[in-house]
Amino acid sequence: MIVVMHSGAEKNEIDEVLERLQGLGFQIHLSQGVERTIIGAIGDKTRLNETALEAMPGVEKVVPILQPYKLVSREFKDHNSVVRVGELEMGREKIHVMAGPCAVESKEQLMETAKQVARAGATVLRGGAFKPRTSPYAFQGLEEEGLKMLAEARESTGLKIITEVVDPRTVELVSRYADILQIGARNMQNFFLLKEVAQSEKPVVLKRGPSATVEEWLMAAEYLMSGGNYNVILCERGIRTFEPYLRNTLDLSAVPVAKHLSHLPVIVDPSHAIGKWRFVKPMAMAAVAAGADGLLIEVHPNPAQALCDGPQSLTPDNFMDLMSELGRVASVLGRVV
């Protein structure tokens, strides 16, 4: 529920409401604006007499949150959240592009890609060190050695680093190197992993599962926020449908829907959704037009030789062209890339 305090409510009145709610076992989230204070309370409503709460000094009204996801919902917070990654701000007018190879294969491959995407205007370098693959015989990643290479690329280019965490036991390790933790589509409902990542202070990109509804996606985000990590970025990356031509079907309607239901930033990964590089550019542009706050794009210096997801990877030249076109679309919407 949300407790809205009267404009000009005294500090002692606010403190009394907080004390009352905490005494009943509610998890409290305090938002103090210029004009009024709003108190978010998550817990068992059966333990509280809402009428009695509204009678307390300074309380204007008590508003129930009807959605099953609470902290994620627009009811809880009606203005857009901004997730900060160092000096970067996700969720404002700038559209941040996260680009790089699906997997870190070698120092030479990563450094070349990092320099190219930085030159084109990307702000975050993506690269997988731990790679959960459908086949147990496919390349599984360089693990900590790959993380060290990512950190070295950050030092060389100034790009922030996003990389996937796949196991609760490696969250602490990945957090030592990464600026942003990525939870992949396969792990969207790995609740043990979500609970562990919730203990981290690192920003998290949460990808939508291939068969997940928007509500299930937001409930997964609720796990992160209820565990204490409010730095959550949603990522649409395609869902499984009956259409076999592309890897998945990019559900761009999920962008405005998620932004309508939730206050969290939303980004789009057209590379994994499409699976074919020639369609990444138009879908990336469409994602920006749909209101995405950022993009996750796969770029490889030699896609034909890539150990992972080469067919969907852009070359550095193609990525440069994409960034130029994205700027034109963004400017129409009053945004920048």
Same domain? For 160 and 25 the reply is no
Predicted local confidence at residue 230, as pLDDT? 93
User: What is the length of the chain?
Assistant: 337
Domain assignment present for 176: yes
Same domain? For 26 and 157 the reply is no
Same domain? For 114 and 36 the reply is no
Same domain? For 101 and 32 the reply is no
Count of H helices and E strands in the chain? 11, 14
Domain assignment present for 78: no
Domain assignment present for 7: yes
Strands 88-90 and 96-100: unpaired
Predicted local confidence at residue 308, as pLDDT? 86
Instruction: Encode pLDDT of 172-223 as tens digits.
Output: 999 999 999 999 999 999 999 999 999 998 999 999 999 999 999 999 999 9
User: In this structure, which amino acid lies at residue 52?
Assistant: A
Residue 97's φ and ψ, nearest 5 degrees, are: -110, 125
Predicted local confidence at residue 140, as pLDDT? 65
User: Could you give the number of structural domains in the chain?
Assistant: 2
Same domain? For 147 and 247 the reply is yes
Instruction: Encode pLDDT of 264-295 as tens digits.
Output: 999 999 999 999 999 999 999 999 999 999 99
Same domain? For 35 and 165 the reply is no
Listed in sequence order, the residues at least 6 apart from 149 whose beta carbon sits closer than 8 Å to its beta carbon are 104, 106, 107, 110, 111, 127, 142
Domain assignment present for 104: yes
Predicted local confidence at residue 133, as pLDDT? 64
Strands 83-85 and 88-90: antiparallel
Same domain? For 200 and 108 the reply is yes
Predicted local confidence at residue 190, as pLDDT? 97
Q: Are 154 and 197 in contact (CB under 8 A)?
A: no
Query: Which CATH number characterizes residue 88's domain?
Result: 3.20.20.70
Domain assignment present for 73: no
Specify the pTM: 0.89
Same domain? For 95 and 30 the reply is no
Domain assignment present for 242: yes
Same domain? For 117 and 8 the reply is no
Same domain? For 194 and 141 the reply is yes
Q: Are 161 and 180 in contact (CB under 8 A)?
A: yes
Domain hosting residue 48, numbered range: 2-63
Banded model confidence at residue 118, pLDDT cuts 50, 70, 90: very high
Predicted local confidence at residue 34, as pLDDT? 65
Same domain? For 199 and 305 the reply is yes
Query: Which CATH number characterizes residue 10's domain?
Result: 3.30.70.1140
Same domain? For 96 and 10 the reply is no
Angle between helices 191-198 and 214-226 (to 10 degrees): 40
Domain assignment present for 70: no
124: part of which helix (H) or strand (E)? strand 124-126
Q: Where are the beta strands (DSSP E) in the chain?
A: 2-5, 27-32, 37-42, 59-63, 83-85, 88-90, 96-100, 124-126, 160-164, 180-183, 204-207, 232-236, 266-268, 294-298
Compute the mean pLDDT over every residue in the chain, rounded to the nearest whole number: 92
Domain assignment present for 74: no
